Structure 1
């Protein structure tokens, strides 16, 4: 039986009880924290580790790369896709096995292929974590089996997940309910994440469990153009906690269309062009979850990169618009040219001269 969870009509208090020791809800677009509980407490995170493993794998390899399974990837403790020594699989199949079935053997095969060793790959994971801003995170392995020096925080894990979800391949993988791998034997990879079938808008991302870490879950859901991440660590009621937190955030913060894609933001002068000015437009839709009171507290500041000189190409970056909630910068998006503007030729300059000197 499939139970579909929707927003409830209940108005939750900010400090309603959940079982999780640490929890966070974050807006993917802006990175704004919408709910928090012990978000900077370092904790083990079990197989949610694999979010970083998958991100690094996608950034450092190609989906069609053929991977030959090494001995150290066979029979790894815990969840498995039952790899065989010298078996050949595509990187794509291994990443699906990693994220849908939580294959620890898949994690080791991926790490060994990309870096030549697990330790080498872990260095890449830690380097990427620091680049993302996850400064209270340390990886010791690519699968999440317990080690005293393997930890993260709810906030860091949300940051890592936010970066991963902006990778289109990653997002496609984690919202897939079933993947059929190109191999003999164990090939049907059903996604363990019940959020995809139980929660309205659920589209990711990863489960995790060890005796020490407890039940850990990272979920994502998208409604009306807003995608939220929820992280719960050491959460006996992991799915229930996640659904309640997402319901809370979707109810308290509603979508506000701050800027529409291709909407005219400003008319800008152009030097030495066949046209003397051009309209600059937003490169993207900017939809931000806000409370009802916050919608009147949004300001936009337009910054143009420099004096514009022809030629200008349609879609060329011209500047940016910064979106503030009171004094807090929420988001920055690029402004681009709406049209091509060619440079003036000799004939154009002669005509301009005549018109100026009538």
Structure 2
């Protein structure tokens, strides 16, 4: 249940550093994992989360995201020789078969079809290489800087790698897309093909874990078992990623259990919440500073007392001031670590006084 932190504390500047822990007490099978809050991006637990690893078919999260951003679900795609008999998991595409992009995306995410990924890549890009360039550009643009894609399916290649952190970041970005969220949480899908059209999701999180609402499995000999899982409870949506974990599902369940049992989402400030009333010398005016966006952050009970807020209003504010104009920034700190910097804006329009108004003010 969300709770409000009411008091604002003015604090001095602190050195920025990390504020997460690892999960040694949870007895996990893997050594590369992360638990991230999908809304704020807070890293709650991690271990070796920035180590570059093979990630197998968890690659397909990015494949789906690019396809949804640049394609149309109703697009009709005629299957050619390039998408036939692809190594590994398959939805068994046939030459000259016509499927919608929607069908291929469900085949990609639920059945992990490598052939589906090639068909998507050739449809969205000029060819597979062009599509892979789009994947890499997207990764860099969202801050997944330790990721490099060589293909759209995740079969092993020397320079095809990611990290637990980057995969969580990519998943966080993908969850902003409503079509992706729908595919991600689907247990079954019927593509209405003559054969092999009934897709059942390989991600057991959807059946086994309370609140489970998404995920992607991956396995190759070189990568081992890789898993992205998501779940939502009490207004908090968590992303768990495990790479090279023999007990992959239980590892992710333990990570998410830890998050839900020890953290709750707290409203630090609401969208358009009044932060401060400010008097300005120019025209003897009063303006109201509002938070530009809502900020919700997962905190343990012990951490609540360690939230501090620093408000900095722009110096020498002068009229005219537009409604919604930036007039300062609000910085939020947890245990001395900067976790959020957001603009504060003016609540109203403040017009510039004309000469007569200024004379009248002086008389008053």
The one of 329, 332, 344 equivalent to 1:323 is: 332
TM-align CA RMSD: 3.1
Q: How does 1:185-264 map to 2 (within 5 A)?
A: 185-264=195-274
Q: Does 1:357 align with 2:363?
A: yes
Match of 1:52 in 2: 62
Count of aligned residue pairs for this structure pair: 342
Note closer, same or farther for the CA distance 1:72–1:196 as it changes in structure 2 (3 Å cut).
same
Match of 2:303 in 1: 294
Unpaired runs of 5+ residues, structure 2, are 1-21
Instruction: Give the structure-1-normalised TM-score.
Output: 0.82
SS class of match (2:92): coil
User: Matched residues in 1 for 2:67 and 2:281: separation?
Assistant: 46
Deviation of the 1:350 alpha carbon = 5.5
Deviation of the 1:216 alpha carbon = 1.0
Alignment check: 8 A CA contact 2:319 2:350 kept: no
Q: Which moves more between the two structures, 48-57 or 60-69?
A: 60-69
Unpaired runs of 5+ residues, structure 1, are 1-11
Deviation of the 1:302 alpha carbon = 3.2
Deviation of the 1:342 alpha carbon = 7.3
Q: Which moves more between the two structures, 276-285 or 167-176?
A: 276-285
Q: Deviations over 1:104-142 (max 9, x none)?
A: 112111111122111121122222222333232221110
Alignment check: 8 A CA contact 2:90 2:116 kept: yes
The one of 119, 133, 145 equivalent to 1:123 is: 133
Alignment check: 8 A CA contact 2:325 2:345 kept: yes
Instruction: Give the structure-2-normalised TM-score.
Output: 0.81
Alignment check: 8 A CA contact 2:23 2:47 kept: no
Deviation of the 1:46 alpha carbon = 1.0
Alignment check: 8 A CA contact 1:74 1:105 kept: yes
Note closer, same or farther for the CA distance 1:267–1:170 as it changes in structure 2 (3 Å cut).
farther
Alignment check: 8 A CA contact 1:96 1:189 kept: yes
Alignment check: 8 A CA contact 2:26 2:254 kept: no
The one of 99, 103, 106 equivalent to 1:93 is: 103
SS class of match (1:15): helix
Alignment check: 8 A CA contact 1:100 1:189 kept: yes
